[in-house]
Amino acid sequence: MAHRPWDPLRDLLDLQERINRLLEENLARGHLAEPQLPSPTWVPLADVCETQDAFVALIELPGLDRENIDLRAEALTLTVRGHRSPGGHVRAENFLRMERSHGPFQRTFQLTEPIVPDQVTAELADGVLRIHLPKAGQRSRRVVATRVE
């Protein structure tokens, strides 16, 4: 009997395949068709970087249209919400395999400096949402004095 060398990646892929089969079997029992159950959530990948005058967020949203994305920018927070459909006009029970994530998602990012929410711009191109968040700088760092009585 020949032994093959240990390959940790192959073991992980085998484990993932077994978990996928287990989930598919449970979903095939009718749980997927129940309308009150929400679609599984997913988490799109994101990069957020900082320049001297802004933050820039790049979020991978393949298959989404602008109409399916909601963006909310506040002084120190960026929240991106949306929904991705499972694909075309194919009903879920007709899929032989479903690996691409779908359903609602939400990502919230805490920023280290205040931004100017009215000047935030966003562009969706090639499945990547690019959000430019200009920093407020000294304008938002007002000090309001209040007496405590």
User: Considering only CA atoms, which of 109, 113, 107, 108 is closest in space to residue 51?
Assistant: 113
pLDDT digits (tens, 9 = 90+) for 15-64: 887 787 777 666 655 444 444 434 446 789 999 999 999 999 999 999 88
pLDDT for 7 equals: 75
pLDDT digits (tens, 9 = 90+) for 73-120: 998 999 999 988 776 666 666 777 777 777 889 999 999 999 999 899
- Phi, psi for 109 (deg, rounded to 5): -120, 130
CATH architecture of 39-138: Sandwich (2.60)
Residues 6+ apart with CB under 8 A from 110: 76, 77
pLDDT digits (tens, 9 = 90+) for 69-82: 999 999 899 999 99
